[in-house]
Structures are given as structure tokens and as C-alpha cells.
């Protein structure tokens, strides 16, 4: 079978087994008749033999879920709760063999993602610092960004989302420049003009967080196309939410990547929620990764709160995409601890947000009990891959760096109105910049003074 003939895992079969130890034995016993005949080989080898590439470590979480059930209710996501500790999977076994600095690197990244957002939340809830714009918290989903980015090269591309802080940090983003951007300061990534949802760092392959839901699919697919044309062997991953997978661009970007052979990975972060709507209400399929199955694109479904599974699946998808110049899809099941954006139901100094109408507090607590960082810490300690002291030292070091970044931000310079006219795709000088007037129908040439006047109401105070 050629590499072009691709196989999509029968995830329903896997669902019967998941979360259990001794996957291959359970896999055989859980199936019947003809399926059982196919299931003689251990899962990994069996799938690899069909695909010609090493797939097969997909580990979904439960046998039931919201899909195909329009009566989905808040609380139903607990059916997807991962086990308290990492499942005993080949992914976890492979992970344990990684070099220690890499293992500690995943931990450091996850803690940085957590602490940066958590301290940001506390600052803004504390009332001393003012938040401009939006702040979509990624807390609860950190293992996805950390695990996926650990499988990428520095020059691989990513596109991110409105919930992008974790991706930026995990790809190596600068904490000082991120914090300064949130504070609308000139030292920020976008010189204080982009705030949380427009952070870009092309030197790290970060093509941007993105306020347009589904806006990243084609940006990443285009980057993958470019890598193919330039012959660079880079890959491009688009991270996006489960409801972004309802965007028209999701499937057609994958279809084109499959047709034309682009090294593109569509990564769905399925947290079961889109603003205040349960995903079960707005999708016809159980998983968002169902569609690409039909065109033979490899699909990985993983526990998104298990960094070993996310890393393992991404590594395989990336190797496949690089080797074959072809797309793959990963769907990671996870959950966000906070409201869609901002801090409703959250308190300074306390984790999680409660009392929201579209989910139950019990659900929040249950998912928090499957904290991806706590689970990873337990894994490292149980397997004696790190000591409690080493992890505590990382916690302390990260905290110091994060605190320093907020201090850096506080001391920065507020962006000025003139800066709004620089660094934009306009030709000519500031004096010659053309603006639409407020009716949007006619144009006029504006002077800097006039612009300063216009901007007055929107400029943040020092």
C-alpha cells in the first residue's frame, strides 16, 4: 500500500477500550466477529500495518458523549473525564523514555501557561490594573499546546486562536512582550495595538492568535502550501476550537491539502463549549474530526489533558505530514476552567469559574480534578523521572519570570495615537494617510492632529 493510501482509525472500535490498561487485550475482547479477526495484533502494529505509517496511539476517553444527541445537557461532558492518572498507553511508555530536559521542558511550559494567565486574572480581578480588550483563558487545556509544540521544529508554523496565550508561550513566545501587549504598551508584541488576540512572532513561526473563529485554518494551510512550494519540509499546524471546526474553512482546507499534498495539520481542541453553547447542540457528529475520515486523512483522537498522548499523536502526525507532504487531523478532548472570556464566576486567588448558566459547578470541579498539570506531575513523580524538589524549583522560577513580565509591562510606555498610523499596510507618510470618514462613504485626508483628536476617546491612559 502506498503512502498516499491513507487509513482512518475506526475510533468507535477504540472507544470500546479506552481508558483501560492493557489496551490490546481489551481491544480484542471488546470487539466481535469479523472485527475480532482484524484485532489480533496489538493496536499500534495493527493500525501501522494498514497505514504504512506508525499510527495507532489514539486514545479517546469514554464510550458516550454529546454528539448525535440534541438533548445534550450541561454536565454530560463528565462522561469524557479522563482517568485521574495517565492511562497506561504506549504513548506514556514512549514519553517516559524522552530525555529528562525534554520532560522537564513540558512541565515548565505547562506551568508557564498556567501561571501567566492565572496571575493575569488575579491582577485584573484585583482592580489595580485595568484590562483593555479581551482575555480568553486557556487554563485547563495547557497539555495541548505544550505537547503539540514539543513535537515541532522552531521554524514550523502555527496559527492560533482567540484563546491563544498557551500556544504563544509553548512556541517560545516572550513573556515580557506578551504581558506588555496585554497592558497596551509600546514594548508589547503589537506595540500595544493588538492586545490579547493578535500576538504574532514570525521569528518563531507564530502566525498569530486570531479573533476570527476559523480564521486560522486557511492561514496554516497556506503556510503549508508555501512550505511545499519552497521545498523546506516545514509543517503548519492550525490550532482551533471544536466550534471552529464548524467553520466552512475547516473541511475545505483539509480537502485541498489532501488533493494537492500540503503538510498541514488541523488540530481541534475540543473543550465541548463555544461561548455559552454546548457543542452537542451545534454539530451532527460525535467528534469534530469525523468529516476528514471520508477523504482518507489520518485522524488522531486523544486525551487532551494527557501531555504524553498529545505529544505522541502530534509527533506522528508531523512525521507523516513531512514525509508525505500530506495533511493529518488531531482532535484532543479537554475542557476550559473559565468562562468563554474574561473572569465571570472567577475570584482572585481562586482557581476556576463557577455559577455559569451553561455548565454545572459539579462539572467544573470534576474537570479540575483532572488537571493536566497535576496529572503530569504525578506521572513524573510516580515514574521517578523527576523529584518533587526539581518540580518545585521550576514552579518558583516560572513564577519569578511571570511576575517580572507583569512588572515589565507596568513600567512600559503607553502606545500613542501616532503609532496607530505606523506599522500598518498603508503607503505614504502619516500626513498622507487616507481614512474613511465615519459614514464610511467618502474619504478624506487627515492630519496627525485630526487623527489625535479622533483617537482621543480610544487611547488608554498611563
Phi, psi angle pair for 369, to nearest 5°: -70, -10
In whole angstroms, what is the distance from residue 446 CA to residue 153 CA?
A: 45
Nearest residue by C-beta to ligand TPP?
241
Q: Binding to ligand TPP (CB under 6 A): which residues in 390-419?
A: none
Q: How far is CA 442 from the centre of its chain?
A: 41
Closer residue to ligand TPP (CB): 56 or 214: 214
Among 1, 25, 212, 323, interactor with ligand TPP by CB under 6 A: 212
Instruction: Give yes or no for residue 163 binding ligand TPP (CB under 6 A).
Output: yes
Helices then strands, counting H and E runs in the chain, come out as: 16, 9
Q: Which is nearer to ligand TPP, 147 or 274 (CB)?
A: 274
CB of 197 to ligand TPP, least distance (A): 9
Among 74, 241, 263, 412, binds ligand TPP (CB under 6 A): 241
Other beta carbons within 10 angstroms of residue 430's beta carbon come to 14
| For ligand TPP, the closer CB: 258 or 273 | 273
Minimum CB separation of residue 172 from ligand TPP in Å reads 22
Site for ligand TPP in 97-156 (CB under 6 A): none
Task: Report the site for ligand TPP in 337-356 (rule: CB under 6 A).
Answer: 340
* Contact range with ligand TPP by CB under 6 A, out of 25-33, 118-126, 272-280, 310-318: 272-280
Residue from 142, 242, 303, 363 touching ligand TPP (CB under 6 A): that is 242
Q: C-beta of 276: minimal distance to ligand TPP in Å?
A: 9
Kindly indicate which of the ranges 271-279, 293-301, 343-351, 428-436 contains the residues binding ligand TPP, using the contact rule CB under 6 A: 271-279
Q: At what angle do helices 216-230 and 248-260 cross, to 10 degrees?
A: 10
- The span of 236-244, 295-303, 360-368, 414-422 binding ligand TPP (CB under 6 A) equals 236-244
Question: How does DSSP assign 89-153, residue by residue?
Answer: -HHHHHHHTS-HHHHHHHHHHHHHHHHHHHHHHHHHHHTSSPPPS-----TT-HHHHHHHHTTS-
Smallest gap, in angstroms, from Cβ of residue 159 to ligand TPP? 13
Q: Dihedral through CA 378, CA 238, CA 210, CA 275, nearest 10?
A: -60
Query: Is residue 68 within 8 Å of 286, Cβ to Cβ?
Result: yes
Distance CA 217, CA 239 (A): 8
Q: Judged by CB under 6 A, does residue 316 bind ligand TPP?
A: no
The answer to whether residue 211 forms part of the interface with ligand TPP (CB under 6 A) is yes
Q: Are 177 and 405 in contact (CB under 8 A)?
A: no
Q: For residue 386, what is the DSSP state? A: S
Q: Supply the minimum distance, in Å, between the C-beta of residue 239 and ligand TPP.
A: 9
Which of 58, 243, 256, 353 touches ligand TPP (CB under 6 A)?
243
Provide the grid cell at 65. 458523549
- Is the separation of the CB atoms in 39 and 46 below 8 Å? yes
Q: How many residues form the binding site for ligand TPP (CB under 6 A)?
A: 16
CA angle 401-163-63, nearest 5°?
115
Residues lying near ligand TPP in the complex (CB under 6 A): 162-163, 211-214, 240-244, 271, 273-275, 340
Amino acid at each position: 500500500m502506498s503512502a498516499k493510501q491513507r487509513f482512518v482509525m475506526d475510533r468507535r472500535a477504540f472507544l470500546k477500550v479506552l481508558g483501560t490498561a492493557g489496551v490490546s487485550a481489551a481491544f480484542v475482547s471488546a470487539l466481535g466477529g469479523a472485527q475480532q479477526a482484524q484485532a489480533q495484533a496489538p493496536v499500534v502494529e495493527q493500525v501501522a500495518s494498514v497505514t504504512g505509517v506508525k499510527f495507532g496511539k489514539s486514545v479517546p476517553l469514554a464510550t458516550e458523549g454529546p454528539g448525535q444527541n440534541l438533548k445534550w445537557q450541561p454536565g454530560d461532558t463528565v462522561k469524557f473525564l479522563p482517568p485521574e492518572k495517565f492511562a497506561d498507553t504506549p504513548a506514556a511508555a514512549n514519553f517516559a523514555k524522552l530525555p529528562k530536559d525534554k520532560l522537564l521542558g513540558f512541565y515548565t511550559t505547562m506551568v508557564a501557561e498556567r501561571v501567566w494567565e492565572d496571575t493575569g486574572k488575579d491582577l485584573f480581578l484585583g482592580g489595580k490594573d485595568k484590562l483593555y480588550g479581551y482575555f480568553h483563558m486557556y487554563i485547563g487545556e495547557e497539555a495541548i499546546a505544550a505537547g503539540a509544540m514539543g513535537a515541532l521544529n522552531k521554524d514550523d508554523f502555527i496559527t492560533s486562536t482567540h484563546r491563544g496565550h498557551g500556544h504563544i508561550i509553548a512556541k517560545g513566545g516572550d513573556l515580557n512582550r506578551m504581558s506588555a501587549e496585554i497592558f497596551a504598551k509600546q514594548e508589547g508584541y503589537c506595540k500595544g495595538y493588538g492586545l490579547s488576540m493578535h500576538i504574532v512572532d514570525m521569528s518563531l513561526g507564530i502566525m498569530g492568535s486570531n479573533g476570527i473563529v476559523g480564521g486560522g485554518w486557511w492561514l496554516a494551510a497556506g503556510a503549508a502550501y508555501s512550505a511545499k512550494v519552497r521545498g523546506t519540509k516545514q509543517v503548519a499546524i492550525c490550532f482551533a476550537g471544536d466550534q471552529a471546526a464548524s467553520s466552512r474553512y475547516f473541511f475545505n482546507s483539509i480537502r485541498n491539502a489532501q488533493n494537492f499534498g500540503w503538510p498541514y495539520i488541523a488540530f481541534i481542541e475540543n473543550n465541548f463549549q463555544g461561548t455559552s453553547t454546548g457543542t452537542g447542540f451545534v454539530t451532527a457528529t460525535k467528534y469534530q474530526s469525523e468529516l476528514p475520515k471520508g477523504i482518507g486523512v489520518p485522524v488522531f483522537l486523544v486525551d487532551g489533558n494527557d501531555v504524553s498522548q498529545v505529544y505522541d499523536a502530534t509527533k506522528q502526525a508531523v512525521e507523516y505530514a513531512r514525509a508525505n507532504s500530506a495533511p493529518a487531523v488531531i482532535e484532543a478532548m479537554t475542557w476550559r476552567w473559565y468562562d468563554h472570556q474574561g473572569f465571570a464566576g472567577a475570584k482572585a486567588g481562586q482557581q476556576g469559574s463557577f455559577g455559569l448558566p451553561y455548565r454545572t459547578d459539579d462539572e467544573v470541579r470534576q474537570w479540575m480534578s483532572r488537571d493536566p498539570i497535576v496529572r503530569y506531575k504525578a506521572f513524573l513523580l510516580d515514574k521517578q523521572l523527576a523529584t518533587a524538589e526539581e518540580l518545585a524549583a521550576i514552579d518558583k522560577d516560572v513564577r519569578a519570570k511571570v511576575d517580572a513580565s507583569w512588572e515589565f509591562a507596568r513600567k512600559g510606555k503607553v502606545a500613542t495615537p501616532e503609532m496607530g498610523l505606523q506599522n500598518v499596510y498603508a503607503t505614504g507618510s502619516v500626513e498622507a494617510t487616507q481614512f474613511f470618514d465615519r459614514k464610511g462613504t467618502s474619504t478624506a485626508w487627515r492630519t496627525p492632529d485630526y487623527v489625535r483628536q479622533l483617537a482621543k476617546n480610544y487611547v488608554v491612559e498611563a
